[in-house]
A and B are shown apart, each in its own frame.
Chain A
Amino acid sequence: MKLSPKALRLVCLLLGVMMIVGMFAGCGKSNDVSSNDTSSDDTAASKPDDSGKDKSTAEPVTLKYMTWYPPQNIMNEIIEKFENKYPNIDVKVEINEPGAHCQKLPIALASGEKIDVMGVMVDIAKQVKPYLANVDEVMTKSVGDDWESSFKDGVLDWSKKICESDDVLILPTGSLASPVVYYNATIFEELGLEVPKTVDELKNIIQTIKQKKPDMMPLAFRGKLYWLHSYSAFGLWGQKKPQLLTKVNNGDIKYNSPEVKEMAQWWLKLFEEDIISKDTLDVDNTKVNEIFYGGDAAMLLHGSWMAGLLSKDWREKNGVEIDRIGAFMFPSIEGSEPTTAAIYDVSLGLNKNSKNLDEAAKLFKFILLEEGLDVLVNNFLVFPSKKGYEVDTSNFVDEPGKNGFDALSEGIANPNNPERYLSGATKEFGRVLQAVTLGEDIQKVLDEFQKEFESGKY
């Protein structure tokens, strides 16, 4: 078909106009994901029918849920169960990598995107605070006046502190701790090794592994991630100096202070004594899993969110080629208690501007207190913040798994620092610690970093 010049011009004109309109439309506020404003009058009274389905919402409603956690397959399971329970509520989930979530969520909210439920990382709690609904009102309506008693002591105070608010704006699904150590129990048994109680014992274990299994990485660590040096050093050194991280974050202790220098020297010592090898400085998230899951590392320094490794079912589902895995808290440093840093985490918040707040509250409750939480816990992704929740450990078919889970639970219940949060500057400080492990002069790099910090760059 051949177009006449006039028709061709018209087509070009239309395309041009469409392009301009499209471009400017993209700059505007996005449309509401749900075309129906169907706030129900009183959802507190709504109950599921005999089939377990709650049809109290008359018109179909679409909720938008933006988060970074849990992984997609687990989220699908949660949403499927939720939509089955509430057939009139459709949930559109956007899961991003943690870093991308920190970047996208504040921008999405600031640009007026209609997000109903959001995963709130501690790092961005203050940034999204202006958009968060008062949880007290929502939970009173959906759970009842005594909703606060559903959560463990300290959860609400933690939430207020994180958001610097008198109201409760976010609620955590559970607690996470890091770093903790997972170990290949089969290798330990083969070499006659026992879970170490002190750093010296850990050092001996590493020496034994290096001698008897020279091709094996004794302790896998994601050393390429510079910010993890901060998390790990502060998290572990908290055994000796509890709250050091919080004081540094708050600016109460300088980065070039004797306290921080002492920590940096200890961190260097770990590398000098080969407890953590310099060979791990190019290992990232993907590689560390490949190495440990494939049985090429005897131990793994990671977070409690990897507790699924303790379960045989989880290992089979995720292609982990190890028969038995255990876990322990990083052992005692110079006579201190073997603890780590742990916080409430994986928090949820509701957008106060949501037109579907009642429906969003149902999803909120579902994940925090109901079947959604069961899915998270059964996959060992969080240690629940719901009071009296009994975790079913029947999936732990062996002794190392059971003992490991108990060790993690104990560590999370008694952390050396209940604030694992790192400020932007403290994250960047990880590069300084990384440089220290490579032989840079400690005092010099600490002084330089403190100078930078004082310049206002961070």
Chain B
Amino acid sequence: MRVPTNSIKVELPVKQNKKSQSNILGYVFVLPAVAFVAVFIVYGIFFLVKTSFYKVDISFLNPEFIGLDNFKIALADKKFYRSLFNNVVLAAVTIFFCVTLGFLFSVFLCFKLKGTKIYRTLFFVPTLLPNALIAAVFAGMLQYSHGTLNRMLRAIGLDFLAQRWLADPGWAYFSVMIISFYFIGMAMMYYTADLSTISPSIFESAIIDGANMRDMLLRIIFPLLINSHKTVTLTMMLTSFRAFERVFILTGGGPGYSTQITGTYIYSFFAGESAIGNIGFVSTISIFVLIVAFIIGSIQLRAYSRASSQ
């Protein structure tokens, strides 16, 4: 059918007009998000980079340009490396708990046993609570002289087991790490969702082929949940860089420097009753932490995307 040319002449400008109107409206809708990112992310990073070249306190009066001095100090700072190392250990422990216990509990809770919903809720509730609250509860429980745990141990005649959970460097390190167990609920949520997508026919075939429970767990379920492992590992790794409340409330980074992580280390220079107030140095180590977190995240994503493609 031949289309009359006059109708095209009329319709084209209307469509273009509608399209451009639609584009403008689209930009307007995106603008709040763009503005948010611009103000709080882009400007935030720009501000970090800018102040890292200055020696300035929190009043931001009389900043002194010192070039790369803050970077040189940070690179030679053993305590910064130690806090970074503690972050990595904390991340490793959290991931270990999540990928082992989180995975196992999720699988077992998929069995049609009595009370699975209650158990699932019990594991998941702590992830809904603020980290600060969990840390405050544990800080009260683990206190040496008047903490609930030691009081209970003493009450049942197990005085020898009562330890300085937060006052001894070794035990404090252990306590901070072990509380990671409370974060397996998040991992269980990912695993449970992913498990529900596995077809029952796979398990039926495996059983017919003679697979036992161990084979099912390690050779079938574990590899099939690769996407969840990826999400859990990355989430927990990055979460450990934000474990500030947990460490700050439990130990304050102490005793001494024993449980210092990057978050508490940065905070000690920035705020609180003990603030040192060197904002330039705070910015510098924050940049390093950002870079490290970015590198770790990238490596993990690459490794997993390779594994997925294979």
Q: Which residues of A contact B (CB under 8 A)?
A: 9, 12-13, 16-17, 19-20, 23-24, 27, 97-100, 102-103, 106-107, 109-110, 124, 127-128, 130, 217, 223-227, 278-284, 287, 290-291, 296, 424-425, 427-428, 430-432, 434-435, 438, 440, 448, 452, 455-458
Q: Which residues of chain B are within 8 angstroms of A27 by Cβ–Cβ distance?
A: 39
Closest to B40 in A: A23
Kindly specify which of B92-100, B249-257, B294-302 makes contact with the partner chain.
B249-257
Q: How far, in whole Å, are A455 and B35 apart by their CA atoms in the complex?
A: 39
14 A-B pairs in the complex with CB atoms less than 8 angstroms apart: A23-B35, A99-B273, A102-B271, A103-B272, A109-B59, A223-B255, A227-B273, A227-B274, A282-B139, A290-B146, A431-B254, A435-B256, A457-B73, A457-B77
Q: How far, in whole Å, are A280 and B168 apart by their CA atoms in the complex?
A: 11
Q: How far, in whole Å, are A287 and B148 apart by their CA atoms in the complex?
A: 13
Chain B binding surface, main DSSP class: loop
| Residues A128 and B59 in contact, CB atoms below 8 Å apart | yes
Q: Which residues of chain A are within 8 angstroms of B256 by Cβ–Cβ distance?
A: 226, 431-432, 434-435, 438, 440
**How far is the CB of B21 from the nearest CB of chain A, in Å?**
10
Closest to A290 in B: B146
**How far is the CB of A442 from the nearest CB of chain B, in Å?**
13
| Residues A13 and B257 in contact, CB atoms below 8 Å apart | no
State which of A124, A227, A281 has its C-beta within 8 Å of the C-beta of B255. A281
- Let me know if B181 is at the binding interface, CB within 8 A: no
Q: Which residues of B contact A (CB under 8 A)?
A: 25, 28-29, 31-32, 35-36, 39, 55, 57-61, 66, 69, 73, 76-79, 139-140, 142-146, 164-169, 251-257, 268-278, 281
Q: Which residues of chain A are within 8 angstroms of B144 by Cβ–Cβ distance?
A: 279, 282
Q: How far, in whole Å, are A296 and B278 apart by their CA atoms in the complex?
A: 40
Given the interface contacts A19-B32, A103-B271, A438-B256, does A281 sit within 8 Å of B278 by beta carbon?
A: no
Chain A binding surface, main DSSP class: helix
**How far is the CB of B29 from the nearest CB of chain A, in Å?**
6
**How far is the CB of B215 from the nearest CB of chain A, in Å?**
47
Q: Which residues of chain B are within 8 angstroms of A109 by Cβ–Cβ distance?
A: 59
Given contacts A19-B32, A226-B252, 9 further A-B contacts (CB under 8 A): A103-B270, A107-B59, A127-B58, A224-B252, A225-B252, A226-B256, A281-B164, A287-B140, A431-B257
Q: How far, in whole Å, are A232 and B220 apart by their CA atoms in the complex?
A: 61
Q: How far, in whole Å, are A424 and B167 apart by their CA atoms in the complex?
A: 24
Given the interface contacts A13-B28, A278-B167, does A456 sit within 8 Å of B69 by beta carbon?
A: yes
Q: How far, in whole Å, are A20 and B273 apart by their CA atoms in the complex?
A: 35
| Residues B273 and A102 in contact, CB atoms below 8 Å apart | yes
Q: Which residues of chain B are within 8 angstroms of A287 by Cβ–Cβ distance?
A: 140, 143, 146
| Residues B254 and A224 in contact, CB atoms below 8 Å apart | yes
Closest to B281 in A: A457
Q: Which residues of chain A are within 8 angstroms of B25 by Cβ–Cβ distance?
A: 9, 13
